[in-house]
Amino acid sequence: MQRYKLLRQCGQIDNPLYGLCTTGCLCPVQRPVNGAPSRIPPEGVCGDYRIEHFTVTPEEEARTRIRFWRDEHVKAGDYVRLMRGRTVVMSDTPMEMRTNQPILHNATGDVLINGLGVGMVLRHILAKPDVRSVTVVEISPDVISLVGPTFCDDPRVRIVQCSAFDYQPPKGERYDAVWHDIWDFICSDNLDEMKTLHRKYGRRTNWQASWCREQCER
């Protein structure tokens, strides 16, 4: 199955401030709020990867409105995506916001994220004042080159170039939340890797989850 393209919106998505809306549903934070530094990686190419900015026009939004369910379409606006060849590895569309909600809600204290992507999860959890540190484990040096500098001014962020399966956290280190998102698509084939990661990080945290695990189990 392809990484989902179906989107869901809440009634407050037109709120110009974006961010966490008043209904508690998550809307895209496309651009900095209140003068905060931009956490959108610039366009660029590195090795097999590239960062692209793209715009969904009102006309394109109308087309996806026809194709998708009533409340699941791509809202007009500006987005960023990480590409590997013709594969969209990650974008910051509303669907991604929705499917990453578990970590956005549970991130607190010391957090570990497997998979940097476009840094969408990272930029949102850094906006939470109760997040003390974020360790990001990313396998691709190209992705780190493209996206890492966007976060280099935040002393809470540590990006480690390593596979999530091989990473050995410092002795005794524990996390308040661990999030695994290293997959391009929602697919039942991901389940074995999810189980391996949950076993590996289970002793390091009391809360962990994998992106779209429930959908993979269906």
Residue 134 sits in the site that holds ligand SAM (CB under 6 A)? no
Candidates 51, 104, 111, 118; binder of ligand SAM (CB under 6 A) is 118
Residue 90 sits in the site that holds ligand SAM (CB under 6 A)? yes
How far is it, in rounded angstroms, from Cα 24 to Cα 21?
5
**Given the complex with ligand SAM, which of 65 and 83 has the nearer CB atom?**
83
Comparing C-alpha atoms, which of 27, 128, 46 is closest to residue 89?
46
Residue 121 sits in the site that holds ligand SAM (CB under 6 A)? yes
Closest approach, Cβ 126 to ligand SAM, in A, equals 11
- For residues 7 and 72, is the Cβ–Cβ distance under 8 A? yes
Give the angle subtended at the CA of 55 by the CAs of 54 and 56, to the nearest 5°. 130
Maximum alpha-carbon separation in the chain: 53
Residue 101 sits in the site that holds ligand SAM (CB under 6 A)? no
Residue 117 sits in the site that holds ligand SAM (CB under 6 A)? yes
22: helix, coil or strand?
coil
Residues that bind ligand SAM (CB under 6 A): 89-90, 114-121, 137-140, 143, 163-165, 181-182
